[in-house]
């Protein structure tokens, strides 16, 4: 089985995000970038399936400018076999990304497509679902556990009421949640090997897709500041504060 994993370049989650002075966007100047954490979980799951003998090739794909090749090399160091970069300007909308990934999936013919459930920058949680709709493939979203079976894939997903297990026939699409696994660290030998692994660059026109965005960013504002909390000396004082100051009881 071939596994296709979509990954995205985002601001490192340890970095405090800054907004540009004119509030037109997030300031990316001299900011550390990294592999989206949910995408990293998807790569780890693919590698584990390969180590278990349930997959024979892992292909990672990213949509963006040349800068995202750094994150593709990271995925290769974690265990992927080859990489594909679809050359576009950074920040295409979810539907454009899904259309591009759909054409790659039709070409590569994977048995399983793994994506992070969302990117920590845009937080849209759309691409996996749109991809499933475009390909008309079964999907399991928010996966916290998954098992490859003779008949397909069983995915346990987190829902509002608890856990739900769905059985998918292959080819299938799975979006990964935080509790699916804990990604490994790339070792130095694997980082060096990743530099020699193949990385192909494809133009959207070669896939027959025109990249266009139906979303216009109007402004970006930082969250409002929060007042510092206070300590109370007794339960009676706490009740008094909640009743008379906060007026929540």
Report the distance separating Cα 39 and Cα 130, nearest Å. 17
Domain of 124 in residue numbering reads as 2-245
How do residues 42-60 score in pLDDT, each as one tens digit? 999 999 999 999 999 999 9
Residue 241 sits at φ, ψ, to 5 deg, of -65, -45
- Neighbour tally for 13: CB within 10 Å: 11
How do residues 139-179 score in pLDDT, each as one tens digit? 999 999 999 998 899 999 988 888 999 999 999 999 999 99
pLDDT higher than threshold 90 for residue 82: yes
pLDDT band at 92 (very low <50, low <70, confident <90, very high): confident
Reduce the secondary structure of 197-231 to three states and give it as a string: CCEEEECHHHHCCCCCCCCCCCCCCCCCCCCCCCC
- Neighbour tally for 178: CB within 10 Å: 14
- Structural domains counted in the chain: 1
Residue 145 sits at φ, ψ, to 5 deg, of -160, 145
Tokens, residue 164: 């739900």
- What's the average model confidence in pLDDT over 75-92? 92
Model confidence, pTM: 0.86
pLDDT of residue 23: 85
pLDDT of residue 248: 83
178 closest CA partner among 36, 58, 50, 54: 36
110 closest CA partner among 155, 63, 153: 153
| Contact present, 117 and 175 (Cβ < 8 Å) | yes
pLDDT of residue 158: 87
pLDDT of residue 39: 96
Adjacent-strand bridge partners of 154? 147, 167
pLDDT of residue 9: 93
pLDDT higher than threshold 80 for residue 90: no
pLDDT higher than threshold 80 for residue 36: yes
pLDDT higher than threshold 90 for residue 222: no
pLDDT higher than threshold 90 for residue 16: no
Residue 143 sits at φ, ψ, to 5 deg, of -70, 125
Report the distance separating Cα 6 and Cα 155, nearest Å. 18
- What's the average model confidence in pLDDT over 192-199? 94
Tokens, residue 55: 């997959």
CATH number at residue 179: 3.40.50.620
Residue with the bigger pLDDT between 21 and 134: it is: 134
Average pLDDT, the chain: 92
pLDDT higher than threshold 80 for residue 28: yes
């Amino acid at each position: 089985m071939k596994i296709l994993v979509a990954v995205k370049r985002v601001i490192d989650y340890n970095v405090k995000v800054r907004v540009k002075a004119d509030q037109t966007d997030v300031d990316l100047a001299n900011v550390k970038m990294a592999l989206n954490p949910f995408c990293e979980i998807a790569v780890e799951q693919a590698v584990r399936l390969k180590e278990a003998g349930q997959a024979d090739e892992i292909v990672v794909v990213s949509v963006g400018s040349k800068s995202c090749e750094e994150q593709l090399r990271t995925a290769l160091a974690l265990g992927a076999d080859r990489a594909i970069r679809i050359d576009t300007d950074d920040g295409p909308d979810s539907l454009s990304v899904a259309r591009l990934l759909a054409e790659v999936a039709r070409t590569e013919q994977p048995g399983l497509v793994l994506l992070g459930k969302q990117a920590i920058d845009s937080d849209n949680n759309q691409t996996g679902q749109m991809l499933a709709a475009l390909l008309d493939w079964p999907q399991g979203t928010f996966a916290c556990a998954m098992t490859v079976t003779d008949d397909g894939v069983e995915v346990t997903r987190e829902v509002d009421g608890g856990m739900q297990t769905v059985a998918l026939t292959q080819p299938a699409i799975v979006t990964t949640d935080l509790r699916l696994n804990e990604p490994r660290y790339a070792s130095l030998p694997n980082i060096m090997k990743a530099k020699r692994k193949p990385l192909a660059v494809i133009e959207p026109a070669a896939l027959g897709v025109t990249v266009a965005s139906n979303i216009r960013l109007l402004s970006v504002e930082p969250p409002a500041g929060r007042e510092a909390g206070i300590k109370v000396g007794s339960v009676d004082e706490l009740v008094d504060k909640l009743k008379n100051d906060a007026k929540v009881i």
